[in-house]
């Protein structure tokens, strides 16, 4: 009877090193492929966002410029020159339901909703409050500008929902004081926008 002895020789050091080199090369190629794919995906996402912002700007900016007005309280144009314009852009429209020395509440009920492009942001937005002068004439009507210090979108006027907006020096800013403001009067949140020419490569955009 003959016994067959099979060799159980393991990998040599050279074979092990070659295997590690091959695995390392495959891992490097795979990593670079995944990194390039991620970079391309990120670039495409940024391009889509940029195109979306441009489309939004093309639609919104002409509307904002058409809404620029001039009245007894002044112009919505803050400054303007040959290369740019700075103006007050309306961000919403509502009607007061409660007025206090340091707070104005805007009705936000189904019967009298607040209309806005976005939520009012303290520090970014300001407030135009309509001041009715002599009810028999319109030449003395004006809009008082107020800085927004706080916003509570979950407030209320009695049983109806409302937006509470904190303001400072209301009585001092409004001509005629608090008595000149009527509950139910219009309120316009706004922010200051700036458009400038952009120069790159000898071209203006």
Distance from C-alpha of 11 to C-alpha of 8, rounded to nearest angstrom: 10
**How many Å apart are CA 67 and CA 136, to the nearest integer?**
26
- Asked whether the predicted pLDDT for residue 198 surpasses 90, the reply is no
Confidence at residue 202, expressed as pLDDT on a 0 to 100 scale: 75
Residue with tokens 């700075």: 86
What is the mean pLDDT of the segment spanning 180-192? Answer: 88
Q: Find the range with the poorest average confidence among 132-136, 182-186, 197-201.
A: 132-136
pLDDT at 49 over 80: yes
Residue 58 region, left (φ>0) first, then alpha (ψ -120 to 50), else beta? alpha
Does the structure show a pLDDT above 70 at 123?
Answer: yes
Residue 155: strand pairing partners: 162
CB half-sphere exposure, 46, CA atoms < 13 A: 6
DSSP code, position 183: T
Mean of per-residue pLDDT scores for the chain: 83
Average pLDDT over residues 133-153: 81
Categorize the per-residue pLDDT at 20 as very low, low, confident or very high, splitting at 50, 70 and 90: confident
55 strand-pairing partners: none
**What are the extents of the domains in the chain?**
15-66, 70-196
Residue 161: which pLDDT band, with cuts at 50, 70 and 90? very high
Stronger pLDDT, 10 or 140, i.e. the higher one: 140
Q: How much is the pLDDT for 165?
A: 93
pTM: 0.65
| CA dist., res. 6 & res. 3, Å (int) | 10
pLDDT category, 154, cuts 50, 70, 90?
very high
Pick the CATH number of 70-196 from 3.40.50, 1.10.150, 2.60.120, 2.40.30: 2.40.30
The rounded percent of the chain whose pLDDT value lies above 90 is 18
In DSSP notation, 97-157 reads: EEE-SSEEEEE-SSSS--EESS---BTTBEEEEEE---TT-STT-EEEEEEEEEEEEEEEE
Three-state DSSP state, 171? helix
Q: Alpha-carbon distance 185 to 165, whole Å?
A: 15
Q: Does the pLDDT at position 155 exceed 90?
A: yes
Whole-number Å distance between alpha carbons of 120 and 102: 17
What tokens were used for 123? 């520090």
pLDDT at 7 over 60: no
β-pairing verdict for 160-167 and 203-204: unpaired
Per-residue pLDDT for 10 more than 70? no
State both tokens at 86: 């700075």
The better pLDDT of the pair 177, 1 is held by 177
Pairing, β 84-90 against β 77-81 = antiparallel
Give the model's pLDDT for residue 151: 93
* Whether residue 162 has pLDDT greater than 90: yes
pLDDT at 23 over 80: yes
């Amino acid at each position: 009877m003959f016994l067959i002895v099979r060799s159980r020789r393991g990998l040599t050091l050279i074979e092990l090193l070659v295997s590690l080199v091959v695995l390392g090369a495959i891992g490097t190629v795979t990593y670079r492929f995944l990194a390039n794919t991620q970079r391309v995906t990120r670039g495409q996402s940024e391009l889509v966002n940029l195109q979306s912002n441009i489309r939004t700007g093309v639609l919104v900016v002409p509307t904002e410029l058409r809404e620029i007005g001039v009245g007894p309280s002044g112009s919505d144009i803050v400054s303007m020159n040959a290369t740019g314009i700075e103006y007050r852009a309306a961000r919403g429209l509502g009607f007061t339901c409660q007025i206090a020395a340091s707070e104005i509440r805007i009705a936000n009920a189904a019967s009298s909703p607040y209309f806005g492009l976005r939520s009012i942001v303290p520090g970014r937005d300001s407030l135009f409050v309509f001041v009715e002068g002599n009810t028999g004439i319109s030449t003395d009507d004006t809009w008082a500008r107020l800085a927004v210090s706080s916003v509570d979108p979950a407030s209320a006027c009695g049983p109806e929902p409302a937006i509470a907006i904190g303001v400072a020096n209301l009585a001092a800013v409004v001509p005629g004081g608090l008595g000149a403001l009527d509950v139910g009067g219009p309120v316009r949140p706004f922010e200051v926008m700036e458009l400038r020419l952009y120069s790159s490569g000898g071209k203006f955009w």
